Amino acid sequence: MKSFDAIVIGGGQAGPFLAARMVEKGMKVALIERKFLGGTCVNAGCMPTKTLVASARAAHVARSGAVYGVNIPGEIGIDMKVVRARAETVTMNARNGLIGWFAGMDDMTVIYGHARFEDPKTVSVNGETLTAPRIFLNVGARPVIPDLPGINDIDYLTSTSIIHLDTLPRHLAVIGGSYIGLEFAQMYRRFGAEVSVIEHGPKLASREDEDISDAIADVLRSEGIDIHTGVSDIAFARSSDGITVATDSARIDASHVLIATGRKPNTDDLGLDATGVITDKHGYITVDDSLATNVEGIWALGDCNGHGAFTHTSYNDFEIAAANLLDGGDRKVSSRILAYALYIDPPLGRVGMTEKQARASGRKIMISTRPMSRVGRANERGETKGFMKVIADAETKKILGAAILGIEGDEVIHGIIDAMNAGTTYPALQWSVPIHPTVSELIPTLLGDLKPV
């Protein structure tokens, strides 16, 4: 049996950085990864998909050139092999950077294999047994495949496999109208495929307020994406030239099907029953405000604990664990103000409460909205789809949440994120003097238009 000061299972965006910090503190650490360092973000999520989004935007801008007085003769062609290779290069550069970084740490042992618990202090991997007083789980999540009629009779794609396509689908049917599905839908439409989005719920991006969801649907429909919401029945069958997707309201002749109906944690094959670690009904590991499980000496970080399914929340889990365990801190998950983005174009930047949540909280609230058509930068760039929205507490003057669906919305939202984290009241932020011409310059104006509801 090999002994370590700590064992980290999973090489995502929390565990490896915590492992590196522990090595800096003089600890001997084992990092176990069953496949690739970097987790979903580096290998099948943020980095490859946003590289693909960039290629799709380049195609869209090229096709729109005449509007700006830039005439490109002939049809805009897409070389999917180059598109795929570019995304793969970005992934490999990041993955190899991590490999090289860890190789330079004398007290870091990186093991590739499938780890399983033997008991709360012991794991087995590749026929070896390892033990440590501290074990950190950063095992991530994977796509959920729903039990739908005919699904096992077709060759479907997931968010992991679709990034390896080097040919263009004739017609891509996207099952699921949430964040992952919508990004791929617009991306492949801009590459030139016909695209249909099929969503069980009554609206796209169900987490968002209805006005945001409607605006997202308008953006996608304006680019020729076929959207079906409120679909109760879906079945698949092979056809002579692809896949037939039959719903209660439509019949779609697709060449490819992307299943984007959510993700589930990779906790079902860790041998958690040998530890007594509690999980919820969905398999997420239950943790307290410091990310500790109910079993002493075991922590869960990142997607597998159900406290955010984003790279930035996973990295923040590392920061919380490192501060509390190594730096004498007292940081809490509950102190985190959740923010995220939807990377369609224009993007959606979101922080804090939705309007629906704020109304349900019983607070006296104020709301302000502003269409992007009244933003100078948006007009100059010819990208006026979407709107800004902010919600504030009428009594405390604190900002409760905001949504910016529009050009550079994923960057502009950070002005509000920072203000909320600093506890800045909206009157104080209203009197800042932003740079012109930018999208951010409209934040004080947006705040100045707050009205009670």
pLDDT, tens only, 229-243: 999 999 999 999 999
pLDDT in tens, 18-36: 999 999 999 999 999 999 9
CA-CA distance, 287 to 300, in Å (whole number)? 7
**Are 155 and 227 in the same domain?**
yes
CA-CA distance, 445 to 453, in Å (whole number)? 18
Per-residue pLDDT, 308: 87
Q: Is 435 exposed, middle or buried (0-12, 13-18, 19+ CB in 10 A)?
A: exposed
To the query of whether residue 414 is one of the catalytic residues in this protein, the response is no
Per-residue pLDDT, 109: 97
Long-range contacts of 426-434 (CB under 8 A, 24+ apart): 426/390, 426/392, 426/397, 426/398, 426/399, 426/450, 427/397, 429/399
**Are 43 and 178 in the same domain?**
no
pLDDT in tens, 375-403: 999 999 999 999 999 999 999 999 999 99
pLDDT in tens, 254-294: 999 999 999 999 999 999 999 999 999 999 999 999 999 99
Enclosing domain of residue 378: 339-452
Per-residue pLDDT, 62: 96
Single out the residue of 120, 57, 80 nearest to residue 407, CA to CA.
Answer: 57
Nearest 5°: the CA angle 48, 145, 349 is 45
Domain final residue, candidates 318, 335, 352 = 335
Catalytic-role residue among 60, 228, 307, 436: 436
Instruction: Sheet containing 339-342: give its strands across.
Output: 339-342, 348-352, 399-405, 387-393, 365-371, 451-452
Single out the residue of 307, 382, 362 nearest to residue 337, CA to CA.
Answer: 307
pLDDT in tens, 68-125: 999 999 999 999 999 999 999 999 999 999 999 999 999 999 999 999 999 999 999 9
Cβ proximity of 34 and 9 under 8 Å: no
**Are 326 and 397 in the same domain?**
no
CA-CA distance, 260 to 144, in Å (whole number)? 8
> Lowest mean pLDDT: which of 123-127, 247-251, 348-352?
247-251
Domain final residue, candidates 212, 241, 261 = 261
Main-chain dihedrals φ then ψ at residue 380, nearest 5 degrees: -60, -35
pLDDT in tens, 192-228: 999 999 999 999 999 999 999 999 999 999 999 999 9
Cβ proximity of 321 and 327 under 8 Å: no
**Are 349 and 398 in the same domain?**
yes
Nearest 5°: the CA angle 55, 57, 58 is 65
* CATH assignment of the domain containing 67: 3.50.50.60
Single out the residue of 182, 177, 115, 175 nearest to residue 149, CA to CA.
Answer: 175
Per-residue pLDDT, 380: 97
Per-residue pLDDT, 121: 98
Task: Determine the average pLDDT of the residues in 167-180.
Answer: 98
Q: How many domains does the chain have?
A: 3
Residue 123 counted as domain residue: yes
Task: Determine the average pLDDT of the residues in 158-174.
Answer: 97
For residue 437, the one-letter residue type is P
Residue 188 has pLDDT above 90, yes or no: yes
**Are 87 and 27 in the same domain?**
yes
Question: Helix, strand or coil for residue 84?
Answer: helix
CA-CA distance, 197 to 195, in Å (whole number)? 7
Cα-based distances in Å from 378 to 32, 106, 137, 318, 341: 47, 51, 44, 37, 19
Cβ-Cβ contacts under 8 Å for 104 (sequence gap 6 or more): none
For residue 46, the one-letter residue type is C
Residue 146 counted as domain residue: no
Domain final residue, candidates 234, 261, 288 = 261
Per-residue pLDDT, 309: 87
